Amino acid sequence: MENNSRVENILDRIVEARLESIAHRKRVLPEVALKIAVGKIGPPGDFGAALLSDGFNIIAELKKASPSRGTIRAEYRPATLAPALESAGAAAFSVVTEEDFFFGSLADLKSVRAVVHVPVLRKDFIIDPWQVWEARAAGADSFLLIAAILTNGDLRELLELGRSLRMEPLVEVHSHKELDRALSTGAHIIGVNNRDLRNFEVRLQTSLDLVDAIPEDCIAVSESGLRTHEDLVLLRKAGFDAFLIGEQLMTEPDPCVPLRGLIGTVGADRMSTKL
For the annotated catalytic residues, the residue numbers are 61, 63, 123, 172, 193, 223-224
Q: How far apart are CA 1 and CA 4, in angstroms?
A: 5
- H or E stretch including 66? strand 65-66
Other beta carbons less than 10 A from residue 28's beta carbon: 7
Q: How far apart are CA 201 and CA 166, in angstroms?
A: 34
> Position 73: which residue type?
R
To 10 degrees, the CA torsion angle through 119, 125, 131, 132? 40
Other beta carbons less than 10 A from residue 134's beta carbon: 25
Q: Which residues are within 8 A (CB) of 51 and not within 5 positions of it... i.e. 6 or more apart?
A: 57, 59, 91, 92, 189, 219, 221, 241, 242
